[in-house]
Structure 1
Amino acid sequence: MLPDAWQDVDDYYYFPRFASLRVPPGTTPVRPRGLLAAHLDHVERTITAGGCTSFVFHVSRTDTPQRAEVIDELLDRLTDDPRVWCASPRRRGLLRRLSGRPPPRRTAGLVTDPVPSTMCRGRR
């Protein structure tokens, strides 16, 4: 399982029980556009810091057209932004081989992959 920051996981925005953990704290779930705004803000802060990040979107939470649309919009914006590098599955495999990392492990039909599906890095 990836050690993802809560603000990078869709549950953080969509479930009432996580509302009090958000910054600023809330009392209700966030709408899809709120998730998009928060992720775009997080990307800007990550680029400024020269860092990397990943996002987690659960298929079971993408249960409305609006939720699917914001994921598409986020991915479109990330791939269109020249300051952002997004790793495709093919590139992740190459990075894994170059770094000497072992291949992902299979556990009961699940793939445990320590490399995030989307890594973003500010370009210099």
Structure 2
Amino acid sequence: MKHFIVFVVVALLSHSLIAGEYAQEANENPFLNGELNSKYEGEVTALAGDVVEIQPTEQNFPVYKLNLSIVGVKPIWVTSIAPKPEGGISVGDKMIFKGFISTTLATDPSGKLGKITGSKTLLMAIQSERAK
């Protein structure tokens, strides 16, 4: 296959998790104006795409810019507290991140994360794996 088909999968990570107030809306479309919708903060989602940039942070959890290749959706920033897959994560890797929609300010009240990403939202990943 010449092109990697990027997809967005919205699902619960575990049967024990309880869906939030906006789970149904977030399942249908977690984006607003090309970015993750902060209204859905705390809702579970999964994103898949190509890692196009990696930036370090003071918290020792780098942020990954993920190109989803979805028309109208900008690359989405992801930070991950999950163990990295074997071989780590590099620019050009095709990855799937599963986690929670978060705001950069909630993740880092100092505002430094928002300055690094230039975004108000990101995915707080608790699972990461290479896309097949």
TM-score interval w.r.t. the shorter chain?
Answer: under 0.3
- Give the structure, 1 or 2, with the largest relative contact order (CA under 8 Å, sep 6 or more): 1
Answer 1 or 2: which has greater strand percent: 2
More helix as a share of residues: 1
